[in-house]
């Protein structure tokens, strides 16, 4: 892990939350292994997540605004707004992103037990739940998406027991280069023109 650059995209309002503690622990562990760690704290930055015309400096057609066309041209001409371009620079610098040669890991907490996230349970298969984000956004943008880091049912875990979750988290963080991608069978395959999966 020496000299690797890691970007953590962090979004939680409370500095005393488990998510904040997990983020701080990740920073400490990765830094101890020689990584340079950047944190984008979206709430602290008051980062605007909505896609609007304000993302572009100098619209081509403000009367018939098309976000896809305008942002494509703005990216090509360097006219995206400052907060977006700064986050893009962070993505370019990073070897690992915790959000084709970039890797990404989703890290989050749940309100339910792991046993409630299988195919026949009340919350459904977690892989299916994450598919739009992991495949439709991250993989679509060129990331190699690694298996997610999930802290299950935090509301029901006593505070003194939460610290036992860190060692597993640390193992994931220090061996991310060896982690298998999730749903490999789908993410590694190519689609023909009719956009159905090719036969295995």
In a domain, 119, yes or no: yes
In a domain, 135, yes or no: yes
In a domain, 87, yes or no: no
DSSP alpha helix (H) spans, the chain:
18-32, 67-77, 82-93, 126-133, 159-162, 166-174, 184-187
Pair of tokens at residue 74: 């703005």
pTM (predicted TM-score) = 0.68
In a domain, 161, yes or no: yes
In a domain, 14, yes or no: yes
Residue ranges making up the domain that contains 38: 5-52+93-187
In a domain, 72, yes or no: no
CA distances from 125 to 78, 138, 144, 156, 157 (A): 41, 19, 21, 21, 22
Q: Which SS3 state, helix, strand or coil, does residue 99 take?
A: coil
Residue 60 is classified by DSSP as S
Neighbours of 152 (CB within 10 A): 17
Task: Quick: pLDDT tens for 136-192.
Answer: 889 888 788 888 889 999 888 888 888 777 766 676 677 776 666 665 545 555 555
Say which CATH number the domain at 22 has.
3.40.50.360
């Amino acid at each position: 892990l020496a000299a690797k650059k890691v970007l953590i995209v962090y979004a939680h309002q409370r500095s005393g939350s488990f998510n904040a503690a997990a983020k701080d622990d990740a920073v400490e562990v990765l830094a101890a292994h020689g990584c340079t760690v950047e944190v984008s704290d979206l709430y602290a930055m008051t980062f605007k997540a909505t896609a609007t015309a304000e993302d572009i400096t100098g619209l081509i057609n403000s009367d018939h605004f098309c976000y896809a066309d305008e942002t494509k041209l703005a990216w090509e001409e360097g006219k995206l707004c400052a907060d977006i371009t700064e986050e893009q620079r962070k993505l370019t610098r990073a070897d690992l992103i915790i959000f084709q040669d970039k890797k990404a890991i989703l890290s989050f907490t749940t309100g339910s037990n792991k046993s409630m996230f299988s195919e026949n349970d009340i919350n459904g298969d977690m892989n299916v739940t994450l598919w739009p984000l992991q495949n439709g956004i991250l993989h679509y943008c060129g990331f190699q998406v690694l298996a997610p880091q999930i802290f299950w049912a935090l509301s029901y875990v006593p505070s003194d027991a939460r610290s036992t979750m860190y060692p597993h988290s640390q193992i994931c963080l220090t061996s991310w280069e060896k982690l298998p991608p999730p749903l490999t069978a789908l993410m590694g395959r190519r689609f023909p023109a009719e956009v159905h999966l090719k036969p295995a």
